[in-house]
Structure formats: structure tokens, C-alpha cells
């Protein structure tokens, strides 16, 4: 089973900042990583698929990078509406496993 180590667990950003969230896999998982955004009381939203592909309808301020074992979600020019919990998921092997998540606060 692939372990995903996500960091940081919490971050506080100022509007306009560039934010990076890391997700490291315990083994090579190609580009089989997705990123999601979840706000309290709401369903998670699919934002990045296959490590780098922006899901249609998602703001281009979001981007993903990485391959193999190291992956990054980047939020450019962060806005107050981006305050949320973000998590990575791998679907390279069974079962899906998840990063521990990152809570992003906007000052």
C-alpha cells in the first residue's frame, strides 16, 4: 500500500501569496495523483487530475506538478475563497490512499 506524506498540515497565507503544498509517495506512482479541495460542510471538489491536469472549470490559479514520488499543488495569487482543506489521493494501486491534508487559512 502506498503511503502519501502531505505537508504542511496547516498554513496561513495572505491574499496574493503563492502557496505550495507537497505530497510525497512512498513508492513510484507515475502521475497517478489527484488533488481535491474541501470546505467545511461541503463536498470535496476535484481540482487536479493525473498530477498536472487542471480539471475543467477550476481556476487557472491552481496548478499541479510532479511525477514519480514528489508532487506539488500550487495556488497562485491566493484569494480568501481558497481557504479550505486540500488533500492528495493516489490511484496507482489498490486501495486509494490519501495525504493527511493541509488546512489553508487566509489572513
For binding to another protein (CB under 8 A), which residues are involved? Answer: 30, 32, 34, 36, 38, 41-44, 46, 49-50, 55, 87, 89-101
Q: How far is the CB of 53 from another protein (least distance, A)?
A: 11
C-alpha cell at 64: 499541479
- Closer CB to another protein, residue 74 or residue 85? 85
Q: How far is the CB of 87 from another protein (least distance, A)?
A: 6
- Closer CB to another protein, residue 64 or residue 99? 99
- Closer CB to another protein, residue 26 or residue 76? 26
Q: How far is the CB of 48 from another protein (least distance, A)?
A: 11
- CB neighbours of 38 closer than 8 A, spacing ≥ 6? 44, 45, 84, 85, 86, 87
Backbone angles phi, psi at 89, to 5 degrees: -140, 140
Tell me the C-alpha distance between 86 and 30, whole Å.
21
- 72 and 21 Cβ atoms separated by less than 8 Å: yes
Amino acid at each position: 500500500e502506498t503511503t502519501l506524506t502531505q505537508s504542511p498540515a496547516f498554513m496561513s497565507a495572505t491574499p496574493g501569496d503563492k502557496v505550495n503544498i507537497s505530497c510525497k509517495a512512498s513508492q513510484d506512482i507515475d502521475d497517478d495523483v489527484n488533488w481535491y479541495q474541501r470546505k467545511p460542510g461541503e463536498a470535496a471538489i476535484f481540482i487536479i487530475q493525473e498530477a498536472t491536469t487542471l480539471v475543467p472549470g477550476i481556476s487557472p490559479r491552481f496548478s499541479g506538478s510532479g511525477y514519480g514520488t514528489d508532487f506539488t499543488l500550487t495556488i497562485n495569487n491566493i484569494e480568501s475563497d481558497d481557504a479550505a482543506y486540500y488533500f492528495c489521493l493516489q490511484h496507482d494501486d489498490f486501495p486509494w490512499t490519501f495525504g493527511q491534508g493541509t488546512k489553508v487559512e487566509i489572513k
